[in-house]
Structure 1
Amino acid sequence: MILRVSEAIVRAGAEQEFLARLHELVADFPDRYQGLLRHEVLVDEAESRRIQYVSAWRDDADLIAYAGAQWRTEPVTFPGEEHYLESALTLRHFRVHVAE
């Protein structure tokens, strides 16, 4: 399993609008992407303008179907997203390690 973490720093005052748009856009992802095991929108407790979209994917092929061949380096964005952001999205991936 691969965890994909996209992090946004949202402009002051745009947090609620950004969150509403993000939730609207990802609501049907489980139905659209078979390899998506789960997903969450996280708001940092200490810094509410720091928002993460965390998704868990079955494997690399599923991530390619979602994000394209450059999934490791290119974040998935939505039209007009830059309007909400203070800086470009950051992107990290983690492989879930299961004890043997």
Structure 2
Amino acid sequence: MIVRVSEAHVRPGREAEFVSVLCELVATFPARYAGLLRHEVLVDLADSSRVQYVSVWSDAEALVAYAGESWRTDPVTFPDEETYLAGPLVLRHFGSVAIPG
């Protein structure tokens, strides 16, 4: 399992519109991408300009189908996304560790 976190820093005053566009776009992802186990959009409660799209994937093969061969380094963007952003997306990937007990 691979957890992919894309973090956006949104321009002041554009937060609500960005979240709306992002949610509309990703709503279709479970039907479009096999291997997407779950996903969610998170808005920082202390700073609404920090928005994360968190997606959980079954394996690297599923991520290649979604984001391409450069999934480890290249974020997936939507048209005109840069008009909402104060800077480039920050992309991170995490693997899960079994907790004993």
Please, what TM-score do these two structures have when normalized by structure 1?
0.98
Taking only aligned residues, the RMSD between alpha carbons, in angstroms, comes to 0.8
Structure 2 residue aligned with 1:9: 9
Identity of aligned residues (%): 63
Distance apart, 1:34 and its partner CA? 1.1
Distance apart, 1:99 and its partner CA? 3.7
Aligned residues: 100
Quick check: 1:26 aligned with 2:15? no
Unaligned regions of 5+ residues in structure 2, if any?
none
- Distance in 2 between the 1:63 and 1:98 partners? 21
Query: Counterpart of 2:66 in 1: which secondary structure?
Result: helix
Structure 1's consecutive aligned runs of 4 or more residues displaced over 3 angstroms after TM superposition are: none
Unaligned regions of 5+ residues in structure 1, if any?
none
Structure 1 residue aligned with 2:88: 88
Structure 1 residue aligned with 2:73: 73
- Distance in 2 between the 1:45 and 1:89 partners? 19
Distance apart, 1:97 and its partner CA? 1.2
Please, what TM-score do these two structures have when normalized by structure 2?
0.97
